[in-house]
Amino acid sequence: MTGPGPQAPTGAPNPADDQKKESTRVTVLITGTRLYGEGDPVDVLIDGEVIAEIAPAGTLGRDEPGREVIEAAGTVLLPGLVDIHTHLREPGREDTETIDSGSAAAARGGYTAVFAMANTDPVADNAVVTDHVWHRGQEVGLVDVHPVGAVTKGLKGAELAEMGVMASSAGRVKVFSDDGHCVDDPLIMKRAMEYAKGLGVLIAQHAEEPRLTVGAVAHDGPNAARLGLAGWPRVAEESIVVRDALLARDIGTRVHICHASTAGTVELLRWAKSQGIDVTAEVTPHHLMLDDSRLETYDGVFRVNPPLREASDAVALRQALAEGIVDCVATDHAPHADQEKSCEFALARPGMLGLETAVSVIAETMVSSGLLDWRGVAKVMSERPAEIVGLADQGRPLEVGEPANLAVIDPDATWTVAGPELASVSDNTPFEGLELPGRVRATLLRGRPTSVDGEVRHR
């Protein structure tokens, strides 16, 4: 009996496979869009994972075999959005969100990369958990899910987590944060920054001096006093911001401030940057748009940490984002179960959904007001966050040969937010019932449409 004929070595290219790939190759054509909302409409051809051609609208073939056409007349094309602060709840609270549902929300919101915070159960303070988050994100495949590692074990602020192991494991952790808790011990924070400097990673600080916020649930101002709610003073945030800026100055490393919320923080950031201190900061959509007047109804959906501040703080934050004092937008997407929000305000869990509404809120607060144009939106929602966390393939220019991580946005569309219609498991949106401008028409991750007209496309 004769044996089988010669076999190709394991892993060697198979010509038949190449022919099969060629015959099934799919290209995507985005028609009639405007790059960054500027200039004349163009057609954008994506071949494989990159932008292959950009030409005047109507000049690229629409009827090529295997070509998907995304009709995009009147839209704005941006690099795929990057969210460096989100909560996907997996592992441990899959009843409120999963990596699958959170990735779907991200895709519908125009995101191609998100960073999942470490306050899961178990806490992401070791490589087993961070690698799980990374691998689950890859399996789902709708958005690049980057795990954030905890700074301290169990988020307890007492002992540093194994940062080096997490940074070198499969998940390649780039950002470490105890978000939800402040690393309030200055010696622990100093050591964390020193390790981060050596590893080339980023510490993202939840700036809150806990001794000033015991029992606090609302901004410490006239509204909280009138409503009988325990007040959270601005200084609780600002004192940590300045402390960590000074630590970063002396160590010669960088630090990132999560969810900046006060006008005082803006001035401290302005000062730190003027001194050459390597500090960056993010602001959430809800802190740009909402203020503590929303607490009149005692609705737990408006409880968030840090709390909604006064209208003057929101004005200062919007101006700081436009000036670059605050570097980027991050959603702090935080799903919660109904029973965790439909209760006494002081007992409600802090946090709000944000992934699907972020573009619209930025369109309302920053674009409609003239503070940013769409190129500016690309900077604060894609380019700058990708730079801060070191993602070489995200936030790239819209040019031939660049990765096709893209968001197609209809700036003229309006929609009414309805929590149950969002992709998240939870529906705790603070924008319920609001009509907002701007809608994401399509999102592409490395050339593959992950969401088109609200339809999420799994692999």
CA atoms within 13 A on the CB side of 249: 14
Report how far residue 421's alpha carbon sits from residue 424's, in angstroms, rounded to the nearest whole number. Answer: 9
- Neighbouring CB atoms inside 10 A of 10's CB total 5
For residue 145, the cross-strand partners are: 114
**For 154, which DSSP code?**
G
Of these residues, 83, 332, 410, 427, which one is catalytic?
332
DSSP string, 198-259: HHT-EEEE----GGG-TT--EESSHHHHHHT--EE-HHHHHHHHHHHHHHHHHHT--EEE-S
Closest by CA position to 380, among listed 440, 313, 326: 326
Give yes or no for a contact between 110 and 77, defined as CB atoms under 8 angstroms apart: no
| CB-based contacts of 250, cutoff 8 Å, min separation 6 | none
Give yes or no for a contact between 81 and 382, defined as CB atoms under 8 angstroms apart: yes
Closest by CA position to 387, among listed 202, 168, 137: 202
Q: Torsion over CA of 446, 452, 455 and 458, rounded to 10 degrees? A: -20
Query: Which amino acid, one-letter code, is at 173?
Result: V
| CB-based contacts of 140, cutoff 8 Å, min separation 6 | 99, 100, 103, 458
Q: What is the largest CA-CA distance in the chain?
A: 93
Report how far residue 144's alpha carbon sits from residue 379's, in angstroms, rounded to the nearest whole number. Answer: 19
Report how far residue 122's alpha carbon sits from residue 390's, in angstroms, rounded to the nearest whole number. Answer: 26
Distances (CA, A) of 329 to 5, 81, 273, 378: 59, 10, 18, 10
Known catalytic residue at 332: yes
Question: H/E element holding 35?
Answer: strand 27-35
Catalytic residues: 332
